[in-house]
Structure 1
């Protein structure tokens, strides 16, 4: 391999290659250009468009708000932009560098990464973001980096990482998280488990003060102040479970305990409301039932031939007092009255006309006798 293409440590880039290659505005050999410390605002237009390695570190590059940073170098495989005041990377600023394998953004004072900052870098293997001011990592930041093998996030301002971002970083074989001011409370439980799986004991806590300098992976749920659910065999009594739970847990941090009471109050209010509704429904049903029963009235009693008992009694009183009685019509005996009463309960609809006439003649015959 020619010396111009040999991969040398960063400190040797300015000495060996300056001695071996032709001096230009940027020291370059075929396929490679070193523009380190040239106070450049933009990449030189005199560089060949087919170069694969470009060093633009320690300059004053201006990142465009729209569009790409290096439109004229689509063949780049290695790009060094370290020690430039980039601050914020605009969306899709590297989208034309589909062949890029290594991107160095160390010491660029980056405080925010747009969710589409690395759009188009599907072949990127190494991403260096150490010595910046990143405070959080958003999930879409990782989505375009399908082939990432090494991620360096050392010495930023990260205090926590959400669970979904940690899941996406599971696909990256090497991740460096040392030197960040990690807060070791219950929210760091996911980070702790992730570090334990990777055996990364160098990541240490910055707060709270009693855990400062402790390895995050070496802590447990008690140190983080988390309440953990425990499973007990079926034969263990409730009193023993409470004793074990109290002995294995600590008091939760101030401001983070006692959050279950709103759920209890809500449950009680819902239960009382449902009970009241059921009682009202039952009472309304009972009211309608009683109201319907009060509307029913007993049917009036009918006399033997259709008249009312009051009319029969009044007419009988008149006959007995002598106002309509005659010697030719004596008082009928009790047997005849019983027969009339019994006959009176038979409905007229069930007596045929032919049968009704002999009965009337027979009644007159009895009266005459």
Structure 2
């Protein structure tokens, strides 16, 4: 029953192609073969639900604006190889969201717009071999989230920038053989990338002395890269020139290079000791000032000639009872000094004259 049904489907497709008049052949799996028919455009009479389309070896004209195949949204495989496409316009495949394989080999493509593959989020395999690509723009890889196999063999690539190589890290299979790689210092990122991927057969095209050698097997000296050297201050200019010409990556030995921790420790210790000494001196000065403030100055003697007893009593009240037995009062000192005689110097002249007059009056009586 199944073979009969298959035969019926094939007969129906063949009859459809005859009626509609397109030159392509259809199979029962939904594959349309339009190879080598000198077509300028894809036949619009093809069924819209086909999943595969071969348009290789034709003379297709790429639209400058819009999409190439707007009538076949179910395409999963598209072969456009051996067509003179030259350049791909932006979003030319944007309506082919289900596409898994795209073959653009031998199309003389020299330029890829950064949005040429916009909308191909499910693309698994992209074949770009045998074209004239000289560089790869970084945004070219951004829409290709599911890319697994990328073929860039036999193009005109002489170098690849580091950002493109970083984006290609996410692609498990990348073919770069057959490009005219220039093996100078600019190829150093490519060399490291190839060494990580363990890729082989990517060989140099120039300079002549490195022609045919594998890029992954070269080192920085072969590529002529002058690695940056850091020289200590005590190294002379002659030593710097010698190391630069020898292209060694080992920095010269530095004596005393680790002495700075000891210097920092010494400075910290000196500052700490100075702070402690200053604090000790300030504490001693503080105690001294505090002790001096606890004593009160002696009261000044009244200018009105108050009695010694009054001065002594007021002084005793200021110092308190605890001081009375330890220090003599002013009265006791006055009493000890008083021997019963009054010096003449303390008698005023008026008082002496008055006393003489009283004495004379007494004698006269």
TM-score calculated relative to the size of structure 2 = 0.59
Equivalent residue for 1:203? 202
Q: CA deviation at 1:248?
A: 3.9
**Number of residue-to-residue matches in the alignment:** 232
Match of 2:14?
Answer: 22
Whether 1:89 aligns to 2:85 is: no
Structure-1 residue corresponding to 2:67: 68
Cα shift at 1:249: 5.2
User: Residues 237-264 of structure 1: CA distance to partner in whole angstroms, max 9, x if unpaired?
Assistant: 88988766543459xxxxxxxxxxxxxx
User: What stretches of structure 2 of length at least 5 have no aligned partner?
Assistant: 4-9, 18-22, 250-365
Asked if residue 109 in structure 1 is aligned to residue 129 in structure 2, the reply is no
* 1:127 equivalent in structure 2: 126
Matches within 5 A, 1:307-318: none
CA contact (8 A) 1:70 1:94 kept: yes
The alpha carbon displacement at 1:79 in A equals 0.3
1:287-339: CA deviations, max 9, x gaps?
A: xxxxxxxxxxxxxxxxxxxxxxxxxxxxxxxxxxxxxxxxxxxxxxxxxxxxx
Between the aligned partners of 1:211 and 1:156, the Cα distance in structure 2 is 20
SS of 1:123's partner is: coil
In the TM superposition, 1:273-284 aligns within 5 A as: none
Distance 2:245 2:32 in 1: 65
- SS across alignment from 2:199: coil
Alignment partner of 1:34 is 2:26? no
Instruction: For structure 1, list consecutive stretches of 5 or more residues without a partner in the other structure.
Output: 4-17, 251-369
Once the two structures are TM-superposed, the CA of residue 228 in structure 1 deviates from its matched residue by: 1.8
Q: Which residue of 2 aligns with 1:190?
A: 189
Shift in Å, 1:124: 0.3
Find the counterpart in structure 2 of residue 175 from structure 1.
174
Partner of 1:150: 149
Secondary structure of the corresponding residue to residue 14 of structure 2: coil
C-alpha distance in structure 2 between counterparts of 1:152 and 1:231, whole Å: 42
Cα RMSD between the aligned structures?
2.7
User: Do the aligned partners of 1:227 and 1:249 also contact (CA within 8 Å) in 2?
Assistant: no
Which aligned pairs between 1:209-224 and structure 2 lie closer than 5 A? 209-224=208-223
Question: Equivalent residue of 1:119, what SS?
Answer: coil
The Cα of 1:227 is off from its aligned counterpart by: 1.2
What TM-score comes out, normalization by structure 1 length?
Answer: 0.59
The corresponding residue for 1:333 is none
Q: Distance in 2 between matches of 1:199 and 1:156?
A: 21
1:235-250 alignment, distance < 5 Å:
246-248=245-247
Aligned residue for 1:206, secondary structure, equals strand
Query: Does structure 1 conserve the Cα–Cα contact (< 8 Å) formed by 2:203 and 2:214?
Result: yes
- The secondary structure found in structure 2 opposite 1:141 is helix
Partner of 2:346: none
Residues 282-293 of structure 1 correspond to what in structure 2 (within 5 A)? Answer: none
C-alpha displacement of 1:29: 1.9
Report the secondary structure of 2:179's partner residue: coil
Q: Deviations over 1:49-106 (max 9, x none)?
A: 0011110000111111100000000000000000001011111000000000000000
Q: Residue 282 of structure 1 corresponds to which residue in structure 2?
A: none
- Asked if the contact 2:126/2:149 (under 8 Å) is kept, the reply is yes
Secondary structure of 1:22's counterpart equals: helix
Bigger shift: residues 161-170 or 21-30: 21-30
8 Å CA contact 2:227–2:247 kept in 1: the answer is: no
Q: Is the 8 A contact 1:201 1:218 kept in 2?
A: no
Q: Larger radius of gyration, structure 1 or 2?
A: 2
